[in-house]
Structure 1
């Protein structure tokens, strides 16, 4: 069994080196451009409100803000949130970042046009409850974008994840078929976009399953 204090401590400890991974920091121009292109293809062209749950150091939030969207990022780890705030501030971009449980974002009754989550659901003690909570945070017709996969390793940089992680329902990730089954009852439309073969997204070729689930209420 995991606890939120251990999870927070793990991601706080990972914050300083998190952006060293090509798909985290998006420091290489071709990787940044690949993610920007995907986000552009998924989201409306006109500015909308986006809730980025499990925002980490804010790399995707920054791309969204650059595209003109109004971004709110949520992460359990304060050091991740500090880095996200600094990343947008240095770039001269607007964004709101909150420390809190991504499974139950601390945004009150506010609703959003888009909810984005990347590589998060495997960390959640009750991912299906989180999915219900996330769809409730969307306006009618809102868009849910989940970038997920089934990972070879769940830890960061070879560091074991928190004690009890093996009991998490989706530890190690979730297949597109299984995530589709969990999300479909909550939405009106749903499609899967395979991301495994796009090496630019990941900084090189990957062999595990990676995809985006795009759904509309």
Structure 2
């Protein structure tokens, strides 16, 4: 699937789970992030951050955010959305983010891993970006019925097994509040500790 994310940026936030403009959808994602992220605010790397909606929720919870997205248009919208907050946004590849030697307490990635040519390699790199005891928070799924795309939860947990101490899967398909509507495809989060 090839998408021109620069062209898609202007309308990206119109999807309820992208823009988080609906108070119920926003509250549902904020609650999930509170459960997934460390209780003590820390350094969070949001890969494939898009327009920064999850970055904003994390910043509101006290985390220092670095967002990375391949699309300059998405990054421009994220910078505007988080103006005045403790956040930095960089144009770059989520698989190999341009963060140098910086290390993070959490790496947050939503709906990106399945698009990468080598998910295992990306996961190994992301693990190496974490401080000891850090967390990978991966929101993924399998979408579509005719030609499904995505990464099933069992495949992702298999890829994480040699890299992490503990990984738990949280099913998200049944929580319509997260998506702004009922969904029938597989949507989930994996929270893994290194």
TM-score range, shorter chain: over 0.9
Structure 2 residues without counterparts, runs of 5 or longer: none
**Cα displacement (A) at 1:14:** 0.6
What is the aligned partner in structure 1 of residue 121 from structure 2?
Answer: 129
**Cα displacement (A) at 1:30:** 0.2
2:45 to 43, 48, 51: 51
- Structure with the higher fraction of residues in strand conformation: 2
Which residues in structure 2 correspond to 1:61-210 (within 5 Å)? 61-89=55-83, 92-152=84-144, 172-210=149-187
Total equivalences in the alignment: 193
Q: Is 1:34 the equivalent of 2:28?
A: yes
* TM-score normalised to structure 1 length: 0.86
**Cα displacement (A) at 1:93:** 2.1
Distance 1:122 1:193 in 2: 17
CA offset digits 1:3-43 (Å, max 9, x no partner): xxx76xx1111100000000000000000000000000111
* TM-score normalised to structure 2 length: 0.96
What is the aligned partner in structure 1 of residue 15 from structure 2?
Answer: 21
Structure 1 residues without counterparts, runs of 5 or longer: 154-165
What SS does the corresponding residue of 2:162 show, helix, strand or coil?
helix
Distance 2:32 2:114 in 1: 22
Which stretches of structure 1, 4 residues or longer, exceed 6 Å deviation after superposition?
A: none
What is the aligned partner in structure 2 of residue 156 from structure 1?
Answer: none
Q: Is 1:213 the equivalent of 2:190?
A: yes
